[in-house]
């Protein structure tokens, strides 16, 4: 196991896990990465010609420092700028472009990131084991600060992850069964507000369920307060995802607040064509029976919330719709933000869907397919342009 957690600086064009299954292969303009579990699924691909990343598992291939096209596709140039506003003097503000520079290794993985921010310069170092699995991200300064650390077992499987960011401190332990699949995930996390106050402190365990293809079908805590559900098409692509969490109302210990995030994906010509994100907050502490309100216990409230989620008449809090159009020289993303409300029209309650904001993002390519410009047009904030160099 020690070798699997040892940093290396040079990589072969391919490598085998201890079980003799392929860990990664670099061939031509692409590097493909496989997980160490029995199903041996691809968890990430890098296209060296376009500097684009296709990521199927963000636990094994973190995407926080990549630039996002959609939930599965990212890109990263060698240099780009970000506009920041910052305070000057007692009450004034100024603004300007601050540059981020990235160094890559021979597999296309991030080696270092140098961020020039209004407060100071920050340099982050990424390290990997011989299987090209991420070991550690740390901030390079007088006293190095580890931001993320992964540990792997003797088979090359991720067994422990620790995060130490300003807004999140978290630990995750993964337990595997005889078939080599994750059985459960022990999680402890603190979410921290900008003022340093702890917003939430959670500890829970997720138990895993799988479909016949070996893909994750469901994750669920024992108390059912945390649930993730996945649905795939015949090509193994995710088409539906639901993330559920529940919390007791602070002002009423008998009331459960049910929070859902639901995502749907549609594909065309092997590419993501449409993505919709719905958010629901469902509260139902009582039910009307024979014209009288009857209280529901916590389990009954949870069950009813799931039933309402699957009811097409249930009103979400918000919806975000993303439509993708692929051209030879660009990708255009149309984003619509909707709010929902019940209004009385002609004496009858009517669900109305209002467009609260509309955006358009255009990613422009150079002749090799690299994204060199991002133009964002926002109904409320106007237009911004970002440039990327390689």
pLDDT tens, residue order, the chain (390 aa): 688 999 999 999 999 999 899 999 999 999 999 999 867 889 999 999 999 999 999 989 999 999 999 999 999 999 998 776 666 666 666 677 889 999 999 999 999 999 987 777 899 999 999 999 999 999 988 778 999 999 999 999 999 999 999 999 999 999 999 888 999 999 999 999 988 899 889 999 999 999 998 899 999 999 999 999 999 999 999 999 999 999 999 999 999 999 999 999 999 999 999 999 999 999 988 888 888 889 999 999 999 999 999 888 888 999 999 999 999 999 999 999 999 887 777 777 677 889 999 999 999 999 999 999 999 999 888 888 999 999
Is position 8 within any domain?
A: no
Provide the whole-model pTM: 0.89
Which of 150, 194, 154 shows the shortest CA–CA distance to 176?
Answer: 154
Is position 281 within any domain?
A: yes
pLDDT at site 228:
98
Tell me the per-residue pLDDT of 190-219, one tens digit each, with 9 for 90 and over. Answer: 999 988 899 889 999 999 999 998 899 999
**Angle, vertex CA 147, rays to CA 55 and CA 387, nearest 5:** 55
pLDDT at site 88:
65
Q: How many CB atoms lie within 10 A of CB 325?
A: 12
d(CA 32, CA 72): 15
Q: Which residues pair with 349 in a beta bridge?
A: 344
Residue 244 near residue 228, CB atoms below 8 Å = yes
pLDDT at site 84:
65
Whose structure tokens read 């919709």?
276
**What is the residue range of 274's domain?**
226-316
H or E segment and range at residue 139:
strand 134-139
Which of 133, 81, 124 shows the shortest CA–CA distance to 103?
Answer: 124
Our CA dihedral for 42, 212, 234, 232, rounded to 10 degrees, sits at: -70
pLDDT at site 138:
96
pLDDT at site 85:
65
When divided into structural domains, the chain yields a total of 1
Tokens of 280: 């629901």
Q: Which residues pair with 225 in a beta bridge?
A: none
Residue 236 near residue 213, CB atoms below 8 Å = yes
pLDDT at site 141:
80
Our CA dihedral for 233, 236, 242, 245, rounded to 10 degrees, sits at: 160
Q: Quick one: residue 270, left, alpha or beta (phi over 0 = left, psi -120 to 50 = alpha)?
A: left
H or E segment and range at residue 300:
helix 298-309
């Amino acid at each position: 196991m020690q070798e699997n957690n040892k940093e290396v600086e040079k990589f072969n064009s391919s490598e085998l896990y201890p079980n003799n299954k392929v860990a990664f292969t670099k061939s031509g303009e692409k590097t493909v990465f496989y997980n160490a579990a029995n199903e041996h699924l691809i968890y990430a691909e890098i296209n060296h010609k376009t500097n684009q990343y296709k990521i199927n598992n963000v636990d094994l291939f973190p995407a926080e420092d990549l630039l996002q096209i959609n939930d599965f596709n990212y890109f990263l140039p060698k240099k780009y700028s970000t506009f920041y506003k910052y305070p000057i003097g007692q009450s004034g503000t100024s603004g300007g472009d601050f540059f981020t520079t990235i160094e890559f290794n021979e597999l296309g993985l991030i080696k270092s990131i140098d961020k020039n921010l209004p407060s100071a310069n920050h340099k982050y170092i990424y390290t990997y084991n011989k299987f090209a699995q991420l070991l550690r991200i740390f901030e390079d300064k007088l006293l190095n600060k580890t931001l993320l650390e992964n540990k792997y077992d003797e088979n090359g499987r991720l067994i422990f992850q620790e995060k130490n960011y300003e807004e999140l401190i978290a630990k995750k332990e993964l337990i595997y069964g005889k078939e080599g699949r994750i059985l459960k995930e022990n999680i402890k996390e603190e979410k921290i507000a900008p003022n340093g106050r702890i917003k939430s402190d959670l500890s829970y365990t997720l138990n895993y369920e799988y479909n016949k293809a070996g893909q994750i079908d469901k994750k669920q805590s024992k108390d059912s307060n945390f649930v993730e559900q996945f649905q795939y098409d015949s090509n193994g692509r995710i088409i539906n995802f639901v993330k559920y969490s529940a919390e007791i109302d602070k002002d009423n210990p008998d009331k459960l607040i049910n929070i859902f995030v639901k995502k749907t994906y549609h594909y065309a010509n092997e590419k993501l064509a449409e993505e919709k994100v719905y958010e629901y907050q469902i509260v139902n502490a009582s039910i009307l029976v024979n014209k009288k309100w009857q209280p529901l216990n916590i389990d009954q409230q949870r069950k009813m919330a799931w039933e309402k989620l699957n009811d097409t008449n249930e009103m979400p809090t918000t919806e975000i719709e993303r439509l993708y159009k692929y051209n030879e020289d660009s990708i255009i993303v149309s984003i619509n933000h909707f709010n929902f409300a019940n209004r009385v029209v002609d004496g009858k309650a009517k669900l109305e869907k209002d467009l609260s904001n509309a955006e358009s993002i255009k990613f422009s390519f150079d002749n090799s397919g690299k994204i060199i410009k991002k133009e964002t047009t926002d109904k409320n904030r106007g237009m911004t342009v970002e440039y990327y160099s390689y």
